[in-house]
Structure 1
Amino acid sequence: MDDPDDFPWNSNDEPQSDPGSFFLKAAGFELLLGLIGLAAAWMLGYDARQLIPRGDQYGDIFYGLGVGVVATAPMLLAVWILERLNLTGVEELSRITKDRLLAPMRHLTVLELFAISVCAGLGEELLFRGWLQGWLIGPLDEASQVQIIVGVAVASLAFGLVHAMTPTYFALATLVGVYLGYLTILTENLLVPIVAHALYDAVQLIFAFRDD
């Protein structure tokens, strides 16, 4: 979920010769998204971190981590099924992803790939679920069903637009946004989408290079 046209690794140029430089740019870009979310929330008087458990809330932390890991499975299963349906849009997306996303990441270590995935999960979820969705919906115990639907829909469409490399990827990313959005609402724990997002990206990246 990390490859919109303006991301630092999305380029038609040859892979960068300095993997360390590329790693810092990719990780930094993802974290910047999170900072944008925090800054936007602060300016609007909203705390984008309010659904992240505090350091002493061990039960909520382990709950968020555990549910986040489990929540990764449906996304991985959906991708596995789509890749075997031989759909034109999915095949085009797979080709573009290999050419524009994976090529410059080929020389990164597994640890670096995992670190970028964690940064993506943290940064993008703070921006889209932590700030945008949360701000649009407001306090969950006071929100109407209409507010929840609108908040999830707007945040998911924004998430899809950021990933709109192709129409297929826009649609898939938007659906993932809806899934992560409702996970956030049902659990009231932002660690859940952060972990699910990060683990999904890590598995996809690491297995893509393993299969090369």
Structure 2
Amino acid sequence: MDKSLLKFDDFFKSACYFEASLVIVAVFLGWVADIDPLENIYFSETAIAYGVIGTVPLFLMFLALEKMQGESVVNIRKLLLNTLGPGLHRYHWTDLFILAAIAGVSEELLFRGVIQPWIENSWGITAGLIGSNIVF
């Protein structure tokens, strides 16, 4: 009897709920530390352009790694397909995009909106940047 702790039928929904719950964690920790997680969030054409430009090199590296056949790259690909594949294979790319968006927004609120300023208030900007990245 193979009793897996991870139920692949519920994986997508659980992942969405988990990532979204990080917003609640961010709001709670922000309340505890008297930090507004939304304080430094702003949208502008320049910020969006920087985000897109910053994503291009990472996307190109991803495409290059997809073409590589090195043993370590193949092992990582197999691991990801074996662990995440069964829970996500039946979903459309738009569903995965929504999950990625939820994860991106919630993690930014928690780590950049609360944890980084919290550490910065105690130990300075450099410690806040490094510390929040280590915690992430």
TM-score with structure 1 length normalisation? 0.54
Question: What's the % identity of the aligned pairs?
Answer: 27
Q: How many angstroms does 1:13 deviate by?
A: 5.0
1:125 aligns with 2:114: no
Residues 51, 81 of structure 1: alpha-carbon distance in 2 compared, 3 angstrom cutoff: same
Report the structure, 1 or 2, having the larger helix content: 2
Residues 102, 46 of structure 1: alpha-carbon distance in 2 compared, 3 angstrom cutoff: same
Match of 1:95 among 78, 82, 104: 78
Return 5+ residue gaps in structure 1 as ranges.
1-10, 54-59, 160-212
- Deviations along 1:60-81, one digit per CA (max 9) or x if unpaired, are 4333322222211122233344
Aligned residue in 1 for 2:135: 158
Return 5+ residue gaps in structure 2 as ranges.
none
Matched AA of 1:86: G
Q: Distance in 2 between matches of 1:91 and 1:130?
A: 36
Q: How many residues align?
A: 132
TM-score with structure 2 length normalisation? 0.79
Superposition map of 1:1-212 within 5 A: 15-16=8-9, 21-53=10-42, 60-82=43-65, 84=68, 86=70, 88=72, 90-138=73-121, 147-159=124-136
Matched AA of 1:15: F
Q: Secondary structure at the match of 2:21?
A: helix
Residues 31, 14 of structure 1: alpha-carbon distance in 2 compared, 3 angstrom cutoff: closer
Q: Distance in 2 between matches of 1:134 and 1:73?
A: 28
Structure with larger RCO (C-alpha < 8 A, sep 6+): 2
Q: How many angstroms does 1:49 deviate by?
A: 1.0
Aligned residue in 2 for 1:172: none
Q: How many angstroms does 1:105 deviate by?
A: 0.6
Matched AA of 2:29: A
Q: Distance in 2 between matches of 1:129 and 1:29?
A: 18
Matched AA of 2:131: V
Q: Distance in 2 between matches of 1:29 and 1:157?
A: 20
Q: Secondary structure at the match of 2:8?
A: coil
